[in-house]
Structure 1
């Protein structure tokens, strides 16, 4: 089954948890993980592949989910332009829908790092 995004997938899994539409949920990201965990849509499974995964990527100590990938978000900008002409870069960050944007709800974590130049 294909859905629009991770949020739609998790919502569909929550709504159908008593009569699941599938056996595996693939594609949940850290943004929506807490919703799935709080709704109890997962069953614990400790994969033997976890031995090769760095502990920093194991987001659930009860092993309700298994990490399979990670990604970085990079913002490239001209530091000279912003230091000479302003405005301050954090004022340009748009977090219009923080509950629906993978970057939006985590941008509070990256803001302090934006000015390291």
Structure 2
């Protein structure tokens, strides 16, 4: 068994897809009016249009992206320039070694040097 996809519900597919395309620096693997999917290593990050009325503000699912330190800093700069806001900065905390960001549509995601 393996995890194939983690997806986030979004209110505006165009804005969400644009944000993740800029941050991930890759075109979607699949894209339609209600679904966008990015191949990130062996797992896919999906965006599902919340057009069925579920009330939400962001998500309690937090994708974690692992990097070497230099690559993390480059990704962090790109994410902030694309509109992400820092929620928790624990990069210099030896126990945490990560930073949590919030995308413009309210989804949190984490960047870490977990095993670096």
TM-score normalised according to structure 1 size: 0.26
TM-score normalised according to structure 2 size: 0.27
Give the structure with higher Rg (CA): 1
Structure with more of its chain in helix, by fraction? 1
| RCO higher in structure (CA 8 A, sep ≥6) | 2
